Structures are given as structure tokens and as C-alpha cells.
Amino acid sequence: MNEFAELVHDLRALPTAAPESLRERVLALGEPVPRRTLPQVSWRRSLVVLVPACAVALVSAAVVHGVFSSGTSPKPQALTSERGVAGEALAPTTRPPFVPPDGNRHQDYEASMTVRVKDLDALTDRTNEAMQVARSYGGYVASVQQSTQAGEPGEAYLILRVPVGRVEEAMVRLSDLGTVLARQVSVVDLEQTLRQQRAHILRLKLFIARATEQLKASLPADVRLRLQLQLQGARDDLARVTRANGATLNQAALSHVALTLTTQKAATPVQKSSTGRFERAARDAGSFLAGTGAVGLFLLIVLSPLIVVAGAAVVGLRAYRRREERRLLAA
Amino acid sequence: MRAVNAVTSSWPGLQVDRPTFASVAERELDAVHRYLVFLTGNRAVAEDLTGETFEKAFRGWPRFDPRRGTPRAWLCRIARSVALDHFRAEERRRRREERYAGSAGEVVSEVLGPSSLEAALAQLSPAEREVVALRVVLDLDGPTAARVLGISPTACSTRLSRALKRLEELIDDERVR
């Protein structure tokens, strides 16, 4: 023990003080100019602060999003869609009116509606009634499918074509077949398409008239042949564009109504109360959070290989430096 | 001897007494020099590296956080990094000379002193000498020395124990001669 103490004493007594020249050199450095730097915070402490801060920011953003989005209910003019919550029926008093077709314009009018009926017997009766409604307004039934399997709710799916001028009345009558569960109307203006088709037809007719006139005169054989070919092409084009124009007019004349009749029971209607907006806000906020989570998960999945590679590189670099240090200091 | 000055951090709420760089340099210069003499085994190299260490510390002084360790441990970490850079540069120099001269480059001889203790120390590896320097000469505690060396406190104790045992054996051998 005494030997060890002696060794320690000898080691500490070794003349290893810094020489005066070195002391002067170091002390000549003076005092560094004080810089106002951010406080040094370890990454663990940073995480402790940053993680809750990010969580609070995310939740706040979700709440703000929920509150703002629940306060507005934008509906495009040309496309309306109403659906009861969880299959809840649209109450007749709160049911918004149909978007009527514009009588002065050609429009492609499409509507779909889901109507709940009482039972399978009613399903058959209401299907027949729907077909009669279409016919009574000068339309026709494009297709009808009805399925009634044991243990399953019965369903009938009809495609009705009703003249656009009377589709509003037809929709009202179809709504009376049962309880409306969902309704959607889509209106696409066809005026632009028709204008283009008419202009094209006019151009083709003019060309055909001129070409026919030219062919009456005497022309060189090759010019005549080329003109005849162009005339034939123009006539073919005219026939095609005229057919397309007819189809567009037909599309504008008859609306397309997809009607679904179902016996499926509606879910218990949700009581409308003063908490409705709060619930919508909560639901929107939840959706926002779920969306953010999905994006985060996607990024994690996409970036995880890079993170693993970067982590492995850091670990490898550290191991390499450690081994190199050991080698240098073992010499 | 100048008085040791201390200032309070300019950041409110932290309230950490922070010494001035000049006071730290004056107080720790000998300790850092001792550590580098032990680590390099060469007084002239140690002197150069000590100067370099304090220049580096001068530049990094704003980053020094007194809550995370003593100035001595912080300076020793810088000194170790400077010394390792020196060892790497020396190794590159030797390799270059070997490549161009076709023979082994000159190895800087370890010059500690003429006493039997210094002769024995010169035979230890730099790793052994530095743990002796940190734990025995500079009197750093186990965890602090381990942090400077980048190893666990247990590994530090084991290394110190082996180094001292070997040193005693070498001293005995030197005395016999």
C-alpha cells in the first residue's frame, strides 16, 4: 500500500508544469468576445419539450380545422348531394328542393336517389310505380334489377330516362314512394358542346357546297380526284358530327335517373340538438388527426429505410473511430 | 496570480456561475499540459498540443456548459481530440515517408525524462499513460475520466489497475538495471 502511495506521489511530483513561454502564449489569448448564443439544451430535453409541443400544435390545428369546417357546408350549384347520417332519412321538411334543369339551356341532367320502402311486397309495388311514373312523363325504363334473397334486404335498381322538362315533377313523385335516404343531382351544361358541333357541321356543309360547285367546272384530273376525296371525307365527317349532335341533343332531352329502392332498415335517427355542431367539429377534428396520422405513417414507411441506413452509418462510423482510437493509443 | 473571476450566465433562468476563459486557462494550463505530456510521452509535442488545445478551447468557449462538467474535463476532452489528430497526422506522415523512401519512417521517440519512473512510463502505451494521468495525476473521478476516454467507468477502472500494475513492474525492472 505504501508503495502505491509512493508511486502516486512520484507521478504527481514529475516535472510536467507548463513552460513559461507556453503560459504566456495561452494567456495572451485573452477573453473571447461574449456571444449571445441560445442556451445549450441536450437532445433529450429538447425531445421532452418538442414532442408535447408538436402534439399540442397538432391537436390545436385539428380543433381549428374541425370548428371552421363544421361551420360551413359548401354545396356546388351544379351538383347537390344529401345523405342522412348513418342511413338516417332525410326529413321532408328539411329536404332541400331539387335543382331544377334550366329550360333555356341544354343540360345533361343526372340524378340518383335511394328510397327505403316498408317490405318486400312494397318493394315490388313501388318498383312498378316508379316505372309507371317514368312512362307517365313521357320517359321510359332503361333498365331494372330487383334482388330479394332470404335474410338479405331486398333491393331494386332502376335506370329511368325522363324528359328533362318534367324530371323535377318525376323526382317529386319518386320521392313519395318511400323514405328518401340519399339523393344526388348532377347537372352538366352541354351548350358549349352543341355550339362546337353546330359550327363544325356548318363548316363541313359550306365546304361540301363549295366543293360540289367546283366539281361542276372542268378541272385537271389530279385536282378533281383530290377534291373528290376531300368531299367524300367531309361527307363522312358531316355524318359523324351530325350523329354526335343528335346524341347530345338526345342526352339533353332525357334526364338519367338512377333510383334504388331498398327495404334496409335505417339506423336510429340521431337526435338533432344544439350539440350537432360540436359533434361535427369533433368528427372533423378526428378526421384531420387520422389524416395527419396516415401521412405520418406513410412518411415513416417511406423514410424508414433511409433512417435505418443513416443510423447504421452513424453506428459504423463511431465503431470505426473507436477502433482507430484504440489502435492509435495502443502503439 | 490573477483572481479567478466568475460571471453569471446571461440567460435568465439558468443562473449558472460561469468562470471566465482567462481564469480557466490560468488554472488548468498545467493540468492540460501534464495530461498531454503523459499521453504523447513527448514534452515538445505536448507543449505544441497544449497551445493548440487552448486555441481550440478559446474558439469553442461559448459552447462550454458548466452544468455538463468541469472546465478541466472539458479541456481534457479537447486535448485528447487534438492529440488523436496529431497521432493520425503522424501516422500519415510515416506512411508517406515509407512510400517515397521505401523504408520505415522515423518514429518520434518518446522523451519523458531520465528517471526510472519516466523511463517506465515511456514503455507504457498512450492509452495506459492517459488513464494514469487522468485518474492519478489530475485526480479526476472515475465517471469523469471514463467520459473523457469515451469508455465505461468499469473499463476505466480496469485499465487504470492494469496500467499501474504494469508501471510498478516496469519500475522494478528499471531499478534492477
Burial category of B58 from C-beta neighbours within 10 Å (exposed 0-12, middle 13-18, buried 19 and up): middle
Which listed CATH number (3.30.565.10, 3.10.580.10, 2.30.110.10, 1.10.10.10) goes with B113-177?
1.10.10.10
CA dihedral A60, A62, A66, A72 (to 10 degrees): 100
Fold classified for B1-111:
Rna Polymerase Sigma Factor; Chain: A (1.10.1740)
Nine-digit cell at A71?
361551420
Query: Does B139 have pLDDT greater than 70?
Result: yes
Domain contains A158:
yes
Q: What is the pLDDT of residue B49?
A: 95
Q: What is the pLDDT of residue B103?
A: 60
Determine the Cα–Cα distance for residues B59 and B62; give it in Å rounded to an integer.
Answer: 8
Determine the Cα–Cα distance for residues A267 and A84; give it in Å rounded to an integer.
Answer: 10
The one-character DSSP state at A119 is S
Per-residue pLDDT of chain A (331 residues; tens, 9 = 90+): 567 788 888 888 887 788 888 888 888 888 887 766 666 667 778 888 888 898 899 888 888 887 777 665 444 344 444 444 444 455 554 455 666 777 777 888 888 888 888 888 888 888 999 999 889 988 899 888 888 776 677 888 999 998 888 888 888 888 888 888 888 888 888 888 889 999 999 999 999 999 898 888 888 888 889 989 999 999 999 999 999 999 888 888 888 889 998 887 654 444 445 556 788 788 888 888 888 899 989 999 999 999 999 999 999 999 998 898 888 888 6
A178 and A90 part of one domain: yes
User: Does the beta-carbon distance from A30 to B33 stay under 8 Å?
Assistant: no
**Domains in chain A: how many in total?**
2
A126 and A218 part of one domain: yes
A117 and A247 part of one domain: yes
CB proximity under 8 Å: B 109-148 to A: 113, 117-118, 125-127, 130, 132, 136-137
Q: Which residues of A touch B19 (CB under 8 A)?
A: none
CB proximity under 8 Å: B 71-100 to A: 84, 87-88, 91
Per-residue pLDDT band at B3 (split at 50, 70, 90) = very low
| CATH 1.10.10.10, chain B: domain bounds | 113-177
Q: Which residues of A touch B136 (CB under 8 A)?
A: 8, 11-12
- B12-48 tens-digit pLDDT: 444 567 788 999 999 999 999 999 999 998 889 999 9
Determine the Cα–Cα distance for residues B132 and B121; give it in Å rounded to an integer.
Answer: 10
CB proximity under 8 Å: B 10-29 to A: 10-11, 14, 20-22, 25-26, 29
ipTM comes to 0.77
Q: What are the CA-CA distances from residue A111 to residues A63, A119, A220, A251 (Å)?
A: 35, 24, 59, 13
Q: What are the CA-CA distances from residue A104 to residues A97, A101, A127, A168, B160 (Å)?
A: 20, 9, 32, 15, 99
Mean pLDDT of B114-143: 89
Q: Closest CB to B20: pick one of A25, A31, A322.
A: A31
Domain extent, residue A69, equals 43-74
A88 and A178 part of one domain: yes
pTM assigned to the model: 0.52
Q: Which residues of B touch A9 (CB under 8 A)?
A: none
Distance linking the first and last C-alpha atoms of chain B: 43
Determine the Cα–Cα distance for residues A37 and B63; give it in Å rounded to an integer.
Answer: 8
Q: Beta strand pairing status for A107-116 and A140-147?
A: unpaired
Give bridge partners of residue B8 from the DSSP assignment. B17
The arrangement of strands across the sheet holding A79-83 comes to A79-83, A179-189, A107-116, A254-262, A155-163, A140-147
Span of A9-23, A270-284, B72-86, B103-117 with lowest mean pLDDT: B103-117
Backbone conformation region of residue A86, classed left if phi is above 0, alpha if psi is from -120 to 50, else beta: left
User: Does the beta-carbon distance from A22 to B50 stay under 8 Å?
Assistant: yes
Distance of CA B13 to the CA centre of its chain: 34
Q: Which amino acid is located at A126 in the chain?
A: R
- A202-227 tens-digit pLDDT: 999 999 999 898 888 888 888 889 98
3-state helix, strand, coil in chain A (%, to 5): 60, 15, 25
User: Does the beta-carbon distance from B34 to A16 stay under 8 Å?
Assistant: yes
A248 and A223 part of one domain: yes
